[in-house]
Structure 1
């Protein structure tokens, strides 16, 4: 059985259907009964409902599973403690494969969330658990593109001139499913997951504008506006961790580019990663329209991918 944490989150919504189609038996961990009902109806075998920040929920979630995919809910104030607790519980249960959803460049510790994920990576490596670490770049999410389609503007809370690497969340979910269902091929690996294009906010606005046929202006919003968009009028004193995390994003992403390399993702997928243009085209029709075709890359033939051969694909020669 495979445990998927935060199963109703951004990644879980893409990952769970892939695992079920692959024939995996899945236990999901979510916060609400409503989410649990939807997952059960979709074919998830078991659902644990509760706050993953509570040790007893972690223990219930991990008990009896063979594999764990751990990705913490975004900006959870107890992310470090949850990560440590999941790893310790998995070790006590004798879990055979622990897959950690981390972040690209976790050693950039001026970023609050990166420092936490670096610490969790270290704890996992030191645990002697069989592990795989996945380090995705900034997600291309339909939710992030929605304002551009609805309001005709592309907003960022940092310098729009800075260059960034993005990764399609569907591609990340595909890699997670590959790693979890073909564990032996991926043990002790740390994979950077990045798309091929390196873009500024102005580039992104041009891509979206080309998809919907209009000029999309770029608007740099200040941190307070961004915080209000995320958390509304909630008391900032109750959001100390989240506020520090957002401020660190603003500072670091304004001061430095944030880029990765697509070679590892190409190899894992056996094709070119999805692009912002293909994600924008999909998002413009509520994620139900056709995607841009994903073509194989010639360089991939030099690097065998045994899990693809076992799935019935032509092995590389």
Structure 2
């Protein structure tokens, strides 16, 4: 391995990927970073911005193993940001793992989901399968079991403000969310520093909140009347479909809320704040920023 390891970030033009690269720049020179993108992204402003920083860009498409073999040549440490093609992610992730092993990558960090091994969430299934494949591969690994991004909650707010009702199915369950930038910084620390091989990091915000408390925060910030309406998961799913949410996504929403009611996204370990060396971003800050400058908010419902 060279004195400064060569670090590869997959999905580098996505929101999490951009955050990781930005955080890496605080640890290593641009020449130590390689950004992986799909071929369709090569002529985008996001890729141009990476190249302007002196960051090498290589095509690395999870669905095209041949691109991965070339992309990982000479790479020491690699971050596999989980894909967003739900239902097809395991074979795509296996392509990355196999190519990393063949290329002699010495550390592969994977963005999984909080408490993946025991989580009741539907979304956890593919993460468990990927974790098992990574462990079985023999490639030194780090599991970054990310909790929820606070930004994920912003998609519900415009409709809630319009109707005065924030609907959900999580009861009094609490979510220990953190800002996407917090998770990005944790991934950068793992890539850029020593001593993380074999670690399983359960990453979550320092404080949790219920959807009822989220509604109260929205009332406080906006001055508008809004209440939380708790529903059975099936009823919440059906109501979401009636409001125009595609059925597969409505299923994920209701399943996630049901899991929150069981504590699936609650964690008090403080691992994330210790890893990044500071407290996690309070959910009040992220939600408050969205409500006061909605054009800067993030309606992306995805989870890295």
Match 1:3 to one of 8, 18, 27: 8
Whether 2:38 is the aligned partner of 1:33: answer no
Whether 2:277 is the aligned partner of 1:270: answer yes
Alpha carbons of 1:256 and 1:173: their partners in 2 closer, same or farther (altered >3 Å)?
closer
- SS at 2:176 equivalent: strand
Unpaired runs of 5+ residues, structure 2, are 1-5, 297-304
Distance in 1 (alpha carbons) for counterparts of 2:179 and 2:39: 25
1:133, CA displacement in angstroms? 1.1
Q: Give the conservation status (yes or no) of the 8 Å contact 1:28–1:48.
A: yes
Alignment correspondent of 1:52:
62
Distance in 1 (alpha carbons) for counterparts of 2:167 and 2:19: 25
Distance in 1 (alpha carbons) for counterparts of 2:101 and 2:18: 27
Whether 2:217 is the aligned partner of 1:207: answer yes
Distance in 1 (alpha carbons) for counterparts of 2:213 and 2:136: 41
**Structure with more relative contact order (C-alpha pairs < 8 Å, separation 6 or more):** 2
Alignment coverage as a number of residue pairs: 280
1:223, CA displacement in angstroms? 1.7
Q: Give the conservation status (yes or no) of the 8 Å contact 1:211–1:280.
A: no
Distance in 2 (alpha carbons) for counterparts of 1:35 and 1:274: 33
Distance in 2 (alpha carbons) for counterparts of 1:69 and 1:215: 43
1:9, CA displacement in angstroms? 2.5
Q: Provide, for residues 20-54 of structure 1, a one-character-per-residue CA deviation record: whole Å limited to 9, x for no partner.
A: 34424222224633774422323363334574223
Alpha carbons of 1:73 and 1:149: their partners in 2 closer, same or farther (altered >3 Å)?
same
Alpha carbons of 1:186 and 1:253: their partners in 2 closer, same or farther (altered >3 Å)?
same
Alignment correspondent of 2:289:
282
Question: TM (normalized to structure 2)?
Answer: 0.78
Q: Provide, for residues 281-309 of structure 1, a one-character-per-residue CA deviation record: whole Å limited to 9, x for no partner.
A: 332344899xxxxxxxxxxxxxxxxxxxx
Alpha-carbon RMSD = 3.1
Distance in 2 (alpha carbons) for counterparts of 1:249 and 1:129: 31
* Greater alpha carbon shift after TM alignment, 275-284 vs 42-51: 42-51
Alpha carbons of 1:150 and 1:71: their partners in 2 closer, same or farther (altered >3 Å)?
same
Q: Which runs of 4+ in 1 moved over 6 A?
A: 228-231
5 Å-filtered alignment, 1:215-254, equals: 215-219=225-229, 222-226=236-240, 232=246, 245-246=252-253, 248-254=255-261
Match 2:24 to one of 10, 19, 23: 19
Alpha carbons of 1:215 and 1:185: their partners in 2 closer, same or farther (altered >3 Å)?
farther
Alpha carbons of 1:74 and 1:108: their partners in 2 closer, same or farther (altered >3 Å)?
farther
1:264, CA displacement in angstroms? 1.2
Unpaired runs of 5+ residues, structure 1, are 290-317
Q: Give the conservation status (yes or no) of the 8 Å contact 2:168–2:228.
A: no
Alignment correspondent of 1:119:
129
